[in-house]
Amino acid sequence: MGETADALVVFGITGDLARTKTLPALYDLTEQGVLTSPVIGVGRRPLRNDEMHEHARAAIEAAKKDTLDRRILDTFLSRLSYIGGDAMDDELYERLRTALKGSKLPVFYLAIPPATFLESSENLAEAGLLDDARLVVEKPFGTDLVSARELNRRLTALVPEHRLYRIDHFLGKEPVQDIMYLRFQNALFEPVWSREHVDSIQVTMAENFGVEGRGAFYDRVGALRDVVQNHLLQVLALVAMEPPAGDDDSVSRHRLDVFRSMPSADPAHAVRGQYQGYEKVEGVEPGSDTETFVGLKLTIENWRWAGVPIFVRAGKNMPVNATEIVVRLQQVPELRYGAHRLESPGFDDVVFRIGRDAGMTITLFAKTPGADDTREVTLDVSFLEELGKGPGPYERLLTDALRGNTMLFPRWDVIEETWRIVQPLLDDPPPVEKYRRGTWGPRRATTLARRYGGWREPQ
């Protein structure tokens, strides 16, 4: 934990990300007393401060609706100012320098497209504004291993690693952080959390909508770059890592250990799909082979997980909207006593739900009343019902950036390994197969996990 920042500068404050995520999060931090410093918004639009206040007010009112406290909103707006201009114009940075006069530890949050944040960072450095500052950038960090390395080389020439914060908003989700606490704060799980008892691991991110409204962006990215290389691999590391101990960097070190133990993905064990009608979405190139679904098999070659297959899938226009991790325990053997014969019933699954219906499910097999067999039952907990609503991901991540806590921000060595893992699928991508909307992707994807009980379908 470092020193608390004394100013926050938000580039792209008039954009969609700031409107839907950043501004509501800053209101929440004001309400909690976390954000007490000036906030300077930077954007291309030529707005006066009062016009910026109206823009922010509308965004926060839309997000908070019935829970809005106008005194808190007014307090936040009293600290908010705006600087408009071209991010390539030296005059903008001179105005920013004037606005930051007296600030010793500012945070620059670049809520702008990755294609532009490098140039903005270089201009900040040239103006001498990054000398003692923290720099926060959004994902994706590069588009492949080579571009990510080059981007990192140029950024770390401007600001050192310990002051560079790369956002992966999945790591700011409360249910994602719950994975570590559920694993390491309960004696129930650790004894079976290894190859001796685990049959397979599944990670599913299903979205029941398409890319309408984002066609031009998505067509350059695809499912692998959009959610697998970052979100889903980071979540997998929390499921598979060793218990952290020691200093504040131990979580990052153990996540890195997981990735360094993972061989690169094999295109022969991967499936790419595209839902029917994707090519008709506005912004999508004719004949595009961008995947809207990807499924793959991975392994972790270490003492804990050797021989345990890991199946990852993510897709658009799936039957449900859900994200979950399944740790599937090995089947018990057939049971015989006297004239009784109980066949092996199936798999016990430990399920972490990290989507909207956040919680945990454990599946068990219990005796069927009046019969000598079993049926599946579930032990289920809803985090919202049991624990109440937690902070949003941007609320948590911006808090940590202001306070200098780096634990939830992926380090460069971690990001480099995740790009290394998926790079073979970018160099030699499997052919794209069409699938119908509302299904679980191409038919061939269902065969990936068939030998291990098949995919568990989120409810």
Token duo for residue 371: 């019969």
**pLDDT of the residue at 382:** 87
pLDDT of 247 reads 81
pLDDT exceeds cutoff 70 at 449 = yes
Q: Is residue 203 part of a domain?
A: yes
Whether 73 has a pLDDT exceeding 70, the answer reads yes
Pair (110, 195) in one structural domain: no
CA 298 to chain centre: 19
415: in domain: yes
Q: Taking residues 135-157, what's their average pLDDT? A: 93
Q: What is the mean pLDDT of residues 211-228?
A: 93
User: What is the residue-wise DSSP string for 294-311?
Assistant: EEEEE---STTTTT--EE
User: Is 125 domain-assigned?
Assistant: yes
In a domain, 458, yes or no: no
- Asked if residue 400 and residue 264 are part of one domain, the reply reads yes
Whether residue 106 is found in the same domain as residue 183 = no
Domain coverage including residue 86: 7-138
| Separation in Å, CA 128 to CA 13, 91, 114, 123 | 22, 14, 22, 9
Backbone angles phi, psi at 350, to 5 degrees: -105, 115
Query: Do 248 and 118 belong together in one domain?
Result: no
Q: Which residues are catalytic?
A: 231
| Shared-domain flag, residues 430 and 310 | yes
- Tell me what the mean pLDDT of segment 402-414 comes to: 93
246 found inside a domain: yes
194 and 50 housed in the same domain: no
Q: Kindly give the residue spans of alpha helices, DSSP state H, lying in 1-141.
A: 16-17, 23-32, 49-64, 70-79, 90-99, 114-126
My answer on whether 436 and 352 are in the same domain is: yes
Map residue 35 onto helix, strand or coil.
coil
Q: Which helix (H) or strand (E) holds 43?
A: strand 39-43
Read off the pTM. 0.93
Q: What pLDDT is recorded for position 450?
A: 93
For residue 52, give Cα distances in angstroms to 41, 107, 126, 238, 300. 8, 20, 27, 40, 49
Q: Which of 42, 45, 76, 44 is nearest to 59 (CA)?
A: 76
Predicted pLDDT of residue 274: 97
What confidence category does residue 240 fall into, taking pLDDT thresholds of 50, 70 and 90?
Answer: very high
Q: What is the CATH number of the domain that holds 347?
A: 3.30.360.10
- In this prediction, residue 126 has a pLDDT band, given cuts at 50, 70 and 90, of very high
Model confidence at 346, in pLDDT bands (50, 70, 90)? confident
Categorize the per-residue pLDDT at 295 as very low, low, confident or very high, splitting at 50, 70 and 90: very high
> Do 276 and 336 lie in a common domain?
yes
Domain annotation covers residue 231: yes
pLDDT of residue 344: 67
Q: How many domains does the chain have?
A: 2
Assigned domain for 143 exists: no
In-domain check, residue 156: no
Is 446 found in the same domain as 298? yes
pLDDT at 370 over 80: no
